[in-house]
Amino acid sequence: MGIAAEALKNFKGFNLKNMPEVEPVSPGHRACQGCGEVLALRQAMKALGTNVVVCSATGCMEIITSPFPQTAWRVPWIHVAFENAAAVVSGVESAYKAMNRKNIIKSPDTVFVAYGGDGATADIGMQALSGALERGHNFIYMCFDNEAYMNTGVQRSSSTPFGAQTTTSPPGKKSKGQSTQKKNLPEIAVAHGTPYVATACPAFPVDLMNKVKKASLVPGPAYIHIYSPCPTGWRCGIEESVEMARLAVQSKVFPLYEVIDGVYYLSRKVAKPKPVAEYFKPQRRFRHLTEADVQQIQARTDAEYDRLVAKCVVEVKEKKEKE
């Protein structure tokens, strides 16, 4: 049995009747209306509680929670540059380890968290994250993926899906929008031998919170990729954020799964998938695509999902969440 499976063998998760009341991220922050990312951040931090140290890369969640001299954080939190959240949390974790060993502090159960958006993770901070995962630091890295650089004006990232319109991938006579495929960050984390890797989204809060809690219990690095709808950048209604996250799962665009010690587990099987076109329809970033373009994306989505399912040896049977 691997170290993650051993740590999780007696895991008892959250359900809708035992949700924690703690709120490490306070209300009153300055997120946009309908922000799916801050909803996911709130759910993740509720699962972790207050014995945490958080390192935040530059990005939306840093900007909206810490306008000087105010802060929405009720736990130790540090803002670092776009590229080095994983490097800084590595140093913090090592410092705590040394001080515990020398009896300077007695805090062996503190959880160390680094987070960033898709730009800070897939592009600018990739080398720092790769190094921290490879060294085996005991920390959680959470990527809140809203599929572009939203806080600086909706520029494309390497996590922007094929065909999406951004300010730096505009459609035109010779362009369909984003010309490359979305980078598969969870697979990159798995390739590092990371003991625990998972995908999550705020439309399924119990699933998200249980995965974050599991990540905190695993000795060594853990990576969680969290789908984070952005009505501002995706140009959908502010009331549609959760529905966008739900449709992403139901259309197989963003499957929910875990990888524990290298073994894949499908969290939610999509028995009757909805067409990708239904997921695209409310989002104006995809409205320039032709029917042929959407069919091409549908075919690739189906193929990628089938490849994932083929790797999963067991399906996790969950109690149905109220949606």
Q: What distances in angstroms separate CA 96 from CA 36, 53, 115, 197, 211, one per listed residue? A: 33, 10, 19, 24, 24
Q: Which whole number is the average pLDDT over 97-110?
A: 97
The confidence score (pLDDT) of residue 316 equals: 52
Q: Check pLDDT > 80 for residue 320.
A: no
CATH number of 3-311: 3.40.50.970
The confidence score (pLDDT) of residue 271 equals: 87
The confidence score (pLDDT) of residue 1 equals: 81
**Whole-angstrom Cα Rg for the chain:** 19
Q: Check pLDDT > 90 for residue 73.
A: yes
Which of 153, 155, 158, 154 shows the shortest CA–CA distance to 143?
Answer: 158
Residues 6+ apart with CB under 8 A from 252: 270, 273, 276, 301, 302, 304, 305
Q: Check pLDDT > 80 for residue 132.
A: yes
| Cα 43-44-46 angle, rounded to 5 deg | 65
Q: Which whole number is the average pLDDT over 129-157?
A: 97
**What mean pLDDT value characterizes the chain?**
95
Which of 143, 145, 50, 126 shows the shortest CA–CA distance to 87?
Answer: 126
The confidence score (pLDDT) of residue 118 equals: 97
List, for residues 33-72, the tens digit of each pLDDT value. Answer: 999 999 999 999 999 999 999 999 999 999 999 999 999 9
Please state, in angstroms and rounded to a whole number, the distance separating the CA atoms of residues 218 and 207.
Answer: 17
For 183-209, the DSSP string reads P-HHHHHHHTT-SEEEEE-TTSHHHHH
